[in-house]
Structure 1
Amino acid sequence: MKSLRRRVLLTALGTALSACASRPAPPVQHYTLGMSRADFRDYGGAKSDPCDAEQRWLNDELTAVNGLLARFVNGTEQLSNPRALEHAQQVELLKEAQASLPKVLDVHEGNLRGLARCGFKDKGAFPEISRRGQELLKEARARLAESDAVLAAAALRTAQEKWKEETPQRESTARGTWCTANPKVGEATVFYARQGLAGGTTWHFCDGARVEQAAGAEPIFVEPEDLNRRERRKVQPPRYLEAAANFPAEEIDRPPDGSAPKSASPAP
């Protein structure tokens, strides 16, 4: 009787240990990035051993993630070239990846680490899957490490392009605000000043004159066009240069430079 009980207990214990040693496979997760998709399992997160997985499934899952990462790396290789035709599309892909890809990279790294402990790690395509996976993890993380700077630069370019497109309207509004319908030649009234993207500044006067100053150079006077002899005698360049020099610096229309806008009120 005691012998029978012992056998029953040992059988139950063996069954329990077997159940603990072999956990069910974690559920399949579906991930989409841009036009790419990959199905994978988070073995580490589920406290499951990838070595217990069906080898064909594990092969397919790791290969799918490798493929997605390869397409991401290749699909963002023109980020440093704003003139590339696909640059805007690649920026959007990077923005999407920044929000969702890090978790997938961590899971993939854990799965590859688990594969390295499996008895079949050197069989079939697994060696190449592991090698390529480690390579792609490094490349994808390097790309994500650049994302903050790349996205900030892209946002700045967009803001500067918008600023440039809206410049004529701002100039027209300023002219209508500060100039009379028939401005007198020689009055040297500045109605608008703008700093260009290259750093040079131009002061515009109601009578059509301008003062232009390239970055690091002295300002020069540009007289209005189509002046007759009598009007030309009224134009005194020093007055225009002085008016430009005295124009409030804070009122110069400047392009966005990526810095945070200054608060109108002092910080507490």
Structure 2
Amino acid sequence: MTANIRRLVLAGLGTALSACATKPAPPVELYSLGMSRAEYRDYKKAKADPCASSEPRWLADELTTVNGAMARFLRETEELSNLDAPGHARKLALLREATESLPPIMEVHRYTLNRLKDCGFRNTGAFPEIARRGRELLGEVEARFEEGPKALAAVALRDAQRQWQAEKPEREAAARRTWCPPNPQMGQTDLYYARQEVNGLKMWRFCDGHLVEQRADGEPVLIQPDGLTWRMRRRIKPQSYLDAARNYPPAEMDRLPTSLPTSGQGAAKKSSTPSGGPG
């Protein structure tokens, strides 16, 4: 009788010690990204075993919600490289948000999926598909993050190009105010502004109203202003304008921005310095 009581006491102590050794499941935490919501438990931070401290159905639900949040993020950030895709600005905003907030959740998810391999129920129910899909999504999200810098740079360049187009008249007017005298003399080849258009057309503007144009596949041509008198025409030497245009430093022509700074700050730079008066 005494031996039986001793065995029962020892068995009870073993059960109690085993229960104490298994830490309770950590509290449920909430994560939101855009319109997505996910519930998860940080077993790594709590130093808890997901196999022993969590109900399998709870664990399956938690892993599924995180998988769902990652899958929705991927769907809602498709076509990042297509700047004309519908809702592209919204996609970029979601990408920026996810880049900041999602990696820590992914680390928790990766840890739990790795620990799932040791669970006795790992091959039951939906767990095999949950684990497979989770590992797949982790790789796809990381790949999407790698697309982010290129997409952001492309948007910055497009915005800089639009700004360049919109501000052309003001840059030209500012150059004229800076480099031209109040009363330009006809026949004086004071070149104040030069620009190369997107289609390759080059133009050089002179203070007396003359313009030299050169198409991408042609030779420079002098265009005279309207209303010239016979006396004015006598002072004009066409070759002088063509020579001035030819000698203008190409690097100082006003051109569409075509590249981004190596600093990666997202602000576009011009492929050459904007035109500003005699070279």
Gaps of 5+ in 2: 263-268, 271-279
Q: Residues of 2 paired with 1:172 and 1:62: CA distance?
A: 62
Correspondence 1:45-194 to 2 at 5 A: 45-52=45-52, 53-194=54-195
Deviations for 1:41-92, whole angstroms, at most 9, x for unmatched residues? 1212322111121222212211111111111111111111112122222122
Alpha-carbon distance between aligned partners in 2 of 1:45 and 1:212, rounded to the nearest angstrom: 69
Further displaced range: 71-80 or 114-123: 114-123
Q: Deviations over 1:157-198 (max 9, x none)?
A: 222222322222111111222234554443232211234456
Partner of 2:30: 30
Instruction: Give the whole-Å Cα distance in 1 for the aligned partners of 2:38 and 2:78.
Output: 21
| Conserved? CA contact 1:91–1:154, under 8 Å | no
C-alpha distance in 1 between matches for 2:200 and 2:65:
49
Q: Percent identity?
A: 49
Aligned in 2, Cα 1:202/1:19: closer, same or farther, shift over 3 Å? farther
For the 8 Å contact 1:221–1:237, the answer to whether it is kept is no
Residue 77 of structure 1 aligns to a residue in which SS? coil
Question: CA offset at residue 141 of structure 1?
Answer: 0.8
Distance in 2 between residues matched to 1:16 and 1:214, nearest whole Å: 88
Q: Does 1:43 align with 2:43?
A: yes
Instruction: Tell me which amino acid in the other structure corresponds to 2:77.
Output: T
* Contact 1:175–1:192 (8 Å) recurs in 2: yes
- Indicate if the aligned counterparts of 1:221 and 1:240 stay in contact, CA closer than 8 A: no
State how many pairs are aligned. Answer: 258
Cα distance in 1 for partners of 2:74, 2:100 equals 16
* Paired letter, 1:193: A
Match of residue 224 from structure 1: 224
- CA contact 1:75–1:90 (8 Å) conserved in 2: yes
Q: CA deviation at 1:144?
A: 0.7
Partner of 2:29, secondary structure, is strand
Rounded Cα–Cα distance in structure 2 between residues aligned with 1:107 and 1:201: 58
TM-score for the superposition, normalised by structure 1 = 0.81
Q: Residue 119 of structure 1 aligns to which amino acid in structure 2?
A: G
Once the two structures are TM-superposed, the CA of residue 148 in structure 1 deviates from its matched residue by 1.9
> Are the structure 2 counterparts of residues 23 and 246 from structure 1 closer, same or farther at C-alpha, using a change threshold of 3 Å?
same
- In structure 2, the CA distance between the partners of 1:77 and 1:228, relative to structure 1 (3 Å rule), is same
- Return closer, same or farther for 1:106/1:219 CA change in 2, 3 Å cut-off: farther
- Take 2:175 and 2:110, find their aligned partners in 1: how far apart are those partners? 59
Range with greater deviation from structure 2 (182-191 or 155-164): 182-191
- Runs of at least 5 residues in structure 1 that lack an aligned partner in the other structure: 263-268
CA shift, 1:142, in A, is: 0.7
- State the distance in 2 between where 1:138 and 1:245 align: 55
Q: In the aligned structure 2, how far is the partner of 1:249 from the partner of 1:136? A: 50
**In the TM superposition, what is the alpha-carbon distance from 1:246 to its structure 2 partner?**
3.2
Quick one: structure 1 residues 96 and 197, their matched pair in 2 at CA, closer, same or farther if it must change by over 3 Å? farther
> What amino acid is the match of 1:78?
E
Residue 266 of structure 1 is matched in structure 2 by none
